[in-house]
Amino acid sequence: MITTLRTIVQRVADADSIEQSMAELVRQTRGAMNTDCCSLYLVDGEGLILQASDGLAAQAIGRARLNAGEGIVGMVMRREEPINLADAPSHPAFKRLPEVEEDEFRAFLATPITHRSKVLGVLVVQQKVARQFNEEEEAFLVTLASQLVPELRQSREATELASSTPKRWSATVASPGIADAEILLARPRLSLDVEPVQGQGSDKEWLRLERALLATQDDMTALSGRLSGEMESQISAIFDIYQYLIADPVLQQDLMTGCDEGWSAETVVANTFVSYVARFEAMTDHYLRERASDLKDLGQRILGQLARPGQSGKPPVKPVILMANEITATMLAEVPRSKLAGIVSVEGGASSHAAILARAMSIPALFGLEGLPMQALAGKRAILDAVRGQLLVEPAQTVVQEFHRFQSSLAKKDARYERGLSQPCQTQDGMAVCLQVNAGLVAEGEQLDPAYVGGIGLYRSETLFMVQNHFPTEQTQERAYQRVLQALGDKPVTIRTLDIGGDKPLPYFPIREDNPFLGWRGIRLTLDHPELFLVQVKAMQRANVGTNNLRILLPMVSNLDEVIQSRKLIEQARLELEEELDRELSPVQVGVMIEVPASIYLLPQLRPLVDFFSVGSNDLTQYLLAVDRNNAQVADRFSHYHPAVIQALAQVAINVGDSELSVCGEMAGEPEGALILMALGLRQLSMNRRSLGRIHHLVRHLRSQQLEPLKVALLQARECTEVRQLARQWMDVHGLSELYQDL
């Protein structure tokens, strides 16, 4: 059965068009199950339409329709379960459609094709003989339907695209912003899937390959130079990874061996990189899997140099939204910044090099658009809304006008909110609230005006490690930390110690685990490698000399001993520095992130050991709800507004006593989330830079006494929607609805 299933799915995926893929599906399924008819109905509005059939009348395809719940096929859709009948025409729900000519069919088996609790279509097999399909046949059809979801979704999206109605896709915001431009598909790369070809002698093939490697290396240098003027050297160091790979002696030896075996240069490159890519794609770590795209990109570039020595694509003449199945850092560098309006990547995530670059360059970017028919979108106008996470293709002019009004209104509001930052951040009855900013790049810290922020509440030091091809030295780290500490003047800068593992492993430090989010990550990893921890905290404290605004934050703490060990190492680093510098240094403040639920119950014991606490609302929510927020199958279950999260935050606020407490997750930057946090008693919030003005406006237009009734209601809420609605109703009553209505 497995082989047959794979064959059908592969042939459906390999079809040249949507129509052919659906026709291939019903033809292959009919043959595999040895039935007289196989048909595919797709959801169309509130009902179903016959999209393909091998056995029913050809003229009915695309025309025969069933309303929601109508007929046995409609009943399958409504019940969302298979139906197996020996004699369908005798069933009370049978609906005769004269145009489909199915009077001779008796046996009937149908199963829904479902994606995330939504029925996309119904797959039906029929036979002239009146009989019950057996268990094996039913299991085969149900299993096949479950395998068809990716192809069916893409077919459905492309079919809808052909209509005149504008199309929307939802996606993950990798870099915030808005763009309106035509879609440009990234220059196609040569496939690594090539037919093996014998070479014309190992020396000749290696010479061709060596020239291609050198040309690719020069290309990488040029691309890196193009970006280096626009951002800090740390970010352009992404291209050093490509240079490092090209010069890697292991890769060079593998390529040379292939030439010695008599293969052509193209075959050697394809075979070598296919092997490398497969190894990375098989890794469980999310970050390492994304590095496979870098390897694939490099292999395709070398093939391109072999096929078209010295040639490069022409840059666009007007701003575009760059789209690709996997956007890579080199693709971004090929388009001049002035012509790059936005980025859309079908695959990939927020930790990819392209996403890091997009944020550094302030380019709106959406990642993870499942089922996107890229070829059908090439050259079409689109609105990329990386505020609400949407891509709108070929919008009507009225929609464009409305969108630009929205964009203008949003810009005006944000400008008004920004102007308000010059005012003290306190409520109308004088309660002070400290708003800080999250940062992960040196440039982000340098762009802040210390007069308008309370400091940096979370500096993600792992970003510095992620853009290197080796562990950064103490000197490299010191320079990076010093620039941020100096940029903030006397405002505090909270630097989190290296937090890798989970969805953030390093390409040069692979971590292979079955369940990385519950594994070797954060403080657990760095305490197992005290040499890494000591270098980092020493670099931090050395950078702090002369500024004295450093605070160190420990991630993923779940027991007291982790804090005790960390403080010993931090103190050891301080004493070593005092000896090196021959001067006395003040101890820095040390805090703990509350993100592992166990830490909530240890707060009374942790309080004497640390100087402050910071809630990581993203991970705390993830661990409380047992939901991986990066897993598309369950991401819709991830919510900061879950009643359990609200109860946990309320408990934290009580248990920290008079210790300093802040929140540095995404929740703090959402108007509803910030309001809820303040109602629960938190007075220090850290967020992305873009949210600062909006939350500052919220603080200055409320009274602290008004928050107590909201707190009572929140703690009694039973559903996520109820929690969020309570916050919005409160803002509606107090004239602050504009804060959330355009987000």
- What pLDDT, in 10s, does the model give residues 615-644? 999 889 989 999 876 665 676 788 999 999
> Looking at residue 355, what is its pLDDT?
75
- CB-side neighbour CA atoms (13 Å) of 723: 24
Q: Which of 286, 353, 642, 696 is catalytic?
A: 353
Token pair for 736 = 């602050």
Which pair of structure tokens corresponds to residue 444? Answer: 């982000």
Other CB atoms within 10 Å distance of the CB of residue 20 = 14
Q: Give me the CATH number covering residue 369.
A: 3.50.30.10
469 belongs to a structural domain? yes
Which band of pLDDT confidence, cut at 50, 70 and 90, is reported for residue 533? very high
Residue 644: Cβ within 10 Å count: 13
Please check whether residue 405 lies inside any domain of the structure: no
Confirm whether 573 is domain-assigned: yes
Give the SS3 label for residue 118: strand
Is 384 strand, coil or helix? strand
Question: Cα separation of 563 and 557, whole Å?
Answer: 7
Same domain? For 324 and 460 the reply is: no
CATH number where 31 lies? 3.30.450.40
Nearest alpha carbon to residue 322 among 281, 367, 278: 367
- Tokens 């193009």 sit at which residue? 226
Picking from 113, 147, 162, the residue at the C-terminal end of a domain is: 162
Indicate the residue among 265, 292, 307 that finishes a domain.
307
CA distance 210 to 714: 66
Q: Compute φ and ψ for 464, nearest 5 degrees.
A: -60, -35
Distance of CA 245 to the CA centre of its chain: 26
pLDDT at 161: 46
- Say what the pLDDT of residue 665 is: 81
Q: Which of 246, 278, 307 is the last residue of a domain?
A: 307
- State yes or no: pLDDT of 559 exceeds 60: yes
What pTM value is reported for the model? 0.68
CB 277 within 8 A of CB 292: yes
Domain that holds residue 649: 425-739
Amino acid 158: pLDDT: 47
- Asked if residue 232 has pLDDT above 50, the reply is no
Q: What pLDDT is stored for residue 83 in this prediction?
A: 96
CB-based contacts of 600: which residues, under 8 Å, 6+ apart? 594, 648, 651, 652, 655
697 is known as an active-site residue: no
- Please tell me the distance from the alpha carbon of residue 712 to that of residue 591, in angstroms, as a whole number: 30
Q: Looking at this protein, which amino acid is placed at residue 679?
A: A
The reported pLDDT for the residue numbered 405 is 83
Neighbours of 357 (CB within 10 A): 27
Give the total number of structural domains in the chain.
4
- 3 state SS for 531-591: HHHHHHHHHHHHHCCCCCCEEEEECCCCCHHHHHHHHHHHHHHHHHHHHHHCCCCCCCEEE
Mean per-residue pLDDT, 589-614: 96
- Residue 557 CA: distances (Å) to CA of 267, 439, 600, 687, 716: 49, 21, 10, 21, 30
pLDDT at 342 over 90: yes
Of the ranges 206-215, 259-268, 435-444, 589-598, which one carries the lowest mean pLDDT score? 435-444
Same domain, 493 and 596: yes
Q: For residue 493, what are the β-bridge partners? A: 456, 550
- Residue 319, SS3 per DSSP: coil
728/673 Cα distance (integer angstroms): 10
CA–CA distance, 195 with 203 (Å, rounded to integer): 21
- In terms of domains, do 384 and 516 share one? no
Residue 236 has a pLDDT of 54
β-pairing, 493-496 vs 550-554, is parallel
Q: Do residues 690 and 726 both lie within one domain?
A: yes
Is 675 part of any domain? yes
DSSP β-ladder status, 47-54 and 65-66: antiparallel
Quick one: average pLDDT of 341-366? 78
Tell me if residue 696 is catalytic: no
Place of tokens 């020493």: 538
Mean pLDDT, the chain, integer: 85
Is residue 409 in a domain?
A: no
Does residue 533 share a domain with residue 507?
Answer: yes
**368's torsion region: left (phi>0), alpha (psi -120 to 50) or beta?**
left
Name the token pair of 369: 């658009």
How many whole angstroms separate alpha carbon 146 and alpha carbon 121? Answer: 11
Range with the poorest average pLDDT among 34-38, 352-356, 389-393: 352-356
The residues, any chain, with a CB within 8 Å of residue 66's CB and separated by 6 or more, are 41, 47, 48, 49, 73, 74, 95, 97
663 and 711: one domain?
yes
Q: Which of 189-198, 264-273, 512-521, 535-544 bottoms out in mean pLDDT, i.e. has the lowest?
A: 512-521
pLDDT at 117 over 80: no
Is residue 599 pLDDT above 80, yes or no? Answer: yes
Considering the domain architecture, whether residues 485 and 540 belong to the same structural domain is answered as yes
Highest mean pLDDT among 234-248, 334-348, 639-653: 639-653
Residue 589's CATH number: 3.20.20.60
When comparing pLDDT for 237 and 26, which is higher?
A: 26
Closest CA to 175 of 359, 361, 387, 444: 359
Tell me the pairing of strands 390-393 and 434-439: unpaired
Report CA 448 to chain centroid distance, whole Å: 26
Looking at the fold, whether 342 and 356 belong to one and the same domain comes out as: yes
* Of 305 and 58, more confident: 58
Query: By C-alpha distance, which of 154, 202, 123, 135 is closest to 14?
Result: 154
Residue 245 binned pLDDT confidence (cut-offs 50, 70, 90): confident
Average pLDDT over residues 595-607: 96
Instruction: For residue 275, give the CATH number of its domain.
Output: 1.10.274.10
Question: Per the domain annotation, does 734 fall within a domain?
Answer: yes
The band of 414, judged by pLDDT with boundaries at 50, 70 and 90, is: confident
Residue 407 covered by a domain? no
346 and 462 belong to one structural domain: no
Q: What is the pLDDT of residue 562?
A: 97
- Shared domain for 323 and 295, answered yes or no, is no
In this predicted structure, the answer to whether residue 75 has a pLDDT above a threshold of 50 is yes
243's CB contacts (< 8 A; 6+ apart) are 217, 220, 221
Strands of 65-66's sheet in order across: 65-66, 47-54, 37-44, 118-127, 107-115, 83-85
Does residue 321 share a domain with residue 299?
no
Model pLDDT for residues 281-334, shown as the tens digit of each residue: 776 555 556 667 778 888 888 887 887 665 555 678 899 999 988 787 767 777
Active-site residue identified among 37, 664, 696, 697:
664
Q: Is residue 417 predicted with pLDDT exceeding 70?
A: yes
- At 434-466, the pLDDT tens digits run 999 988 765 555 567 888 899 999 998 987 887
Strand order in the sheet with 320-324: 167-170, 390-393, 381-385, 178-185, 320-324, 340-345, 365-367, 172-175
Lowest mean pLDDT among 152-166, 377-391, 658-672, 689-703: 152-166
Does residue 16 sit within a domain? yes
Whole-angstrom distance, CA of residue 627 vs CA of residue 276: 31
Give the pLDDT score at 274: 87
Beta bridge partners of 83: 110
Residues 6+ apart with CB under 8 A from 14: none
Q: HSE (CB half, 13 Å, CA atoms) of 49?
A: 12
Once rounded to an integer, what is the mean pLDDT over residues 385-401?
85
Nearest-CA neighbor of 183 among 320, 16, 69?
Answer: 320
* Co-location of 176 and 263 in the same domain: no
